[in-house]
Amino acid sequence: MTNKKQINRLKIVLVEQNRTNKWLAEHLGKNVTTVSRWCTNETQPGIETMVQIAQILNIDVRELLVSTKQESR
């Protein structure tokens, strides 16, 4: 198993919205392979692209990111 750092939640959000990588790629005008690599956290989209993805999915851009802050108890 690889130790890829989970930075984005794109795959999770797509599943929650019953959307596919292909659907998102078509709406972004990107290659399906590129979107797939984002979903597996192999590569990361740029900030502008993240904002565009959030707009397409009608969510806050922060929902696409894994939180870096630990919850206090």
Count of structural domains, the chain: 1
Residue numbers of the domain that contains 29: 10-64
Give domain status of residue 57, yes or no: yes
Q: Give percent of the chain with pLDDT exceeding 70.
A: 90
Give domain status of residue 73, yes or no: no
pLDDT above 80 for 33: yes
49-71 mean pLDDT: 93
Give domain status of residue 48, yes or no: yes
pLDDT band at 67 (very low <50, low <70, confident <90, very high): confident
Give domain status of residue 20, yes or no: yes
Give domain status of residue 26, yes or no: yes
Question: Rounded to whole angstroms, how far apart are CA atoms 23 and 70?
Answer: 33
Give domain status of residue 47, yes or no: yes
pLDDT band at 1 (very low <50, low <70, confident <90, very high): very low
**Three-state secondary structure readout of 11-37:** HHHHHHCCCCHHHHHHHHCCCHHHHHH
CATH number for the domain spanning 55: value is 1.10.260.40
30-37 mean pLDDT: 98
